[in-house]
Chains A and B, each alone.
Chain A
């Protein structure tokens, strides 16, 4: 098991190294203009030269993503519980949410910036909008997916609705919820970057725009690498936290 996992990692790494070598070689062999496609070595150079500015902007984007994601988790779970337990909410909130989800959120970004300005809040809201829906849907699925025989068992034990919620419904919904978080986290990153594209003075999305605008393509790639690393790191944290929920329906 361990050996094969190590081998998989090694093969994956090797694949990336080969791709990188091909990239580097093609740029030199075909003499591609650096503002079109910089060599890997130039990107690495840009990463190092601009490390301070990339780090600063990464922290800003990270803050937007985390606030957006956390508010999506809190509100998403609350709304899901409400929709699940309150028939009126199921008839009103749920269709409203589906309609909201059908609006292309990228199209909402300019409005959000007009309403909430160039600062942190408009990006947090964009990240929130992207992350919210998968959290609600996965939590709803989890709450509704409790096996009927377990619900019956809890009724036979005369468990109160409160006890049934905490001891049965919540633990059975957790695996679904974790899956929802895994979908939502990368979406929150996309939301924040979109928000920065549309209106901001900082953040990695802004850095990408600035670098591309001034033909510093190597810096664009460096910033993209930073976004990817950020997204991967956040996903991995969710993955690790998700292991606390080790039980899966079997």
Chain B
């Protein structure tokens, strides 16, 4: 839709019901929002409220009951080419090493990354020297980083991420947060980041969408008016940062 721009996202009245009869679960209820081209939007909400379901719908991986979904100007009926996905669980193939896993999304479509691209991505992820290791030889955090790199190395116009940094320690998390911002600013991507960390959402995003308890409804759409470029320590010292944290925590019922 033109309103959302070339690589925007447009959701109108989307509901999702799993199962039937007795075991029926409404995961999403009448969710509408639009995300502009190159906007960075985070989605937060209590566990089980339908965040992963929302991401799967945006990625064209599951059907939805009502409403309409458009990504990058196309109605979503299946996975779209300009979209890259990072799942909540790191989906590495145990028989491929780091380098092979990193370039998998390219290679299944008949292309590959140059040696420089690979080296640069490994550097960004802090995985230089691990290119020949297999997933079972990596820590959980390293596996997550490979999975993130697998989506980034394709340079998708729309990047959908489901709690990608949840398994990482605070330092690595800060580092990758900043790398993500750097890549986002340099490459002009539309990013949807699902996270359970309110401070991560505020630190990174232009807007934060808050979902309610299941069935997930959009209860608030908060614009984060903090200057860019952002930086973990400077931005967190901004008094408005604290205000946003308080506001979102209240919405989430944390306080």
Q: Which of A's residues lie within 8 Å of B, judged by CB? A: 149-150, 152-160, 163-164, 167-168, 171, 247-250
With A150-B91, A171-B93, A247-B95 as known contacts, state yes or no: A156 contacts B109, CB within 8 Å: no
A249: chain B residues at CB < 8 Å are: 94
Which B residues from 173 to 220 make CB contacts under 8 A with A? none
B109: chain A residues at CB < 8 Å are: 157-159, 163
CB–CB B61/A167 < 8 A: no
A164: chain B residues at CB < 8 Å are: 108
* CB<8 Å pairs between A and B, sample of 19: A149-B87, A150-B93, A153-B85, A153-B87, A155-B78, A155-B79, A156-B61, A157-B79, A157-B104, A157-B105, A157-B108, A158-B81, A159-B109, A160-B108, A167-B107, A247-B94, A247-B95, A249-B94, A250-B94
B59: chain A residues at CB < 8 Å are: 156
A250: chain B residues at CB < 8 Å are: 94, 136
Mask of B103-127 contacts with A, CB within 8 angstroms, 1/0: 0110111000000000000000000
Rounded to whole Å, the gap between the CB of B20 and the closest CB of chain A is: 19
CB–CB B61/A152 < 8 A: yes
Q: Which of B's residues lie within 8 Å of A, judged by CB? A: 56, 59, 61, 78-79, 81, 83, 85, 87, 89, 91, 93-95, 104-105, 107-109, 134, 136
Please name 12 further chain A to chain B contacts, defined as beta carbons within 8 Å, in addition to the given A167-B93, A171-B93, sorted by A numbering.
A150-B91, A157-B104, A157-B105, A158-B79, A160-B108, A163-B109, A164-B108, A167-B104, A168-B93, A171-B95, A249-B94, A250-B136
A155: chain B residues at CB < 8 Å are: 61, 78-79
Compute how far the CA of A248 lies from the CA of B94 in the bound complex, rounded to whole angstroms: 8
Question: Which secondary structure dominates chain A's binding surface?
Answer: helix
Compute how far the CA of A157 lies from the CA of B150 in the bound complex, rounded to whole angstroms: 10
Compute how far the CA of A168 lies from the CA of B83 in the bound complex, rounded to whole angstroms: 21
Chain B residue at smallest Cβ distance from A154: B108
B95: chain A residues at CB < 8 Å are: 171, 247
Compute how far the CA of A163 lies from the CA of B104 in the bound complex, rounded to whole angstroms: 11
Partner of B108, one of A149, A150, A152, A163: A163
A149: chain B residues at CB < 8 Å are: 87, 89, 91
Rounded to whole Å, the gap between the CB of B88 and the closest CB of chain A is: 9
Compute how far the CA of A157 lies from the CA of B95 in the bound complex, rounded to whole angstroms: 18
Rounded to whole Å, the gap between the CB of A126 and the closest CB of chain B is: 36
Compute how far the CA of A171 lies from the CA of B104 in the bound complex, rounded to whole angstroms: 14
A156: chain B residues at CB < 8 Å are: 59, 61, 79, 83, 85, 87
Chain B residue at smallest Cβ distance from A156: B85
A154: chain B residues at CB < 8 Å are: 108
A159: chain B residues at CB < 8 Å are: 108-109
CB–CB B91/A153 < 8 A: yes
Rounded to whole Å, the gap between the CB of A33 and the closest CB of chain B is: 58
Rounded to whole Å, the gap between the CB of B87 and the closest CB of chain A is: 6
Compute how far the CA of A248 lies from the CA of B134 in the bound complex, rounded to whole angstroms: 12
Rounded to whole Å, the gap between the CB of B191 and the closest CB of chain A is: 16
Rounded to whole Å, the gap between the CB of B108 and the closest CB of chain A is: 4
B93: chain A residues at CB < 8 Å are: 150, 167-168, 171
Rounded to whole Å, the gap between the CB of A245 and the closest CB of chain B is: 8
Rounded to whole Å, the gap between the CB of B56 and the closest CB of chain A is: 8
* Of A153, A158, A164, most B-chain CB atoms within 10 Å: A153
Compute how far the CA of A148 lies from the CA of B213 in the bound complex, rounded to whole angstroms: 26
Compute how far the CA of A250 lies from the CA of B83 in the bound complex, rounded to whole angstroms: 29
Rounded to whole Å, the gap between the CB of A188 and the closest CB of chain B is: 28
Compute how far the CA of A149 lies from the CA of B90 in the bound complex, rounded to whole angstroms: 9
Compute how far the CA of A164 lies from the CA of B107 in the bound complex, rounded to whole angstroms: 11
Rounded to whole Å, the gap between the CB of A141 and the closest CB of chain B is: 18
Rounded to whole Å, the gap between the CB of B109 and the closest CB of chain A is: 7
Rounded to whole Å, the gap between the CB of A162 and the closest CB of chain B is: 10
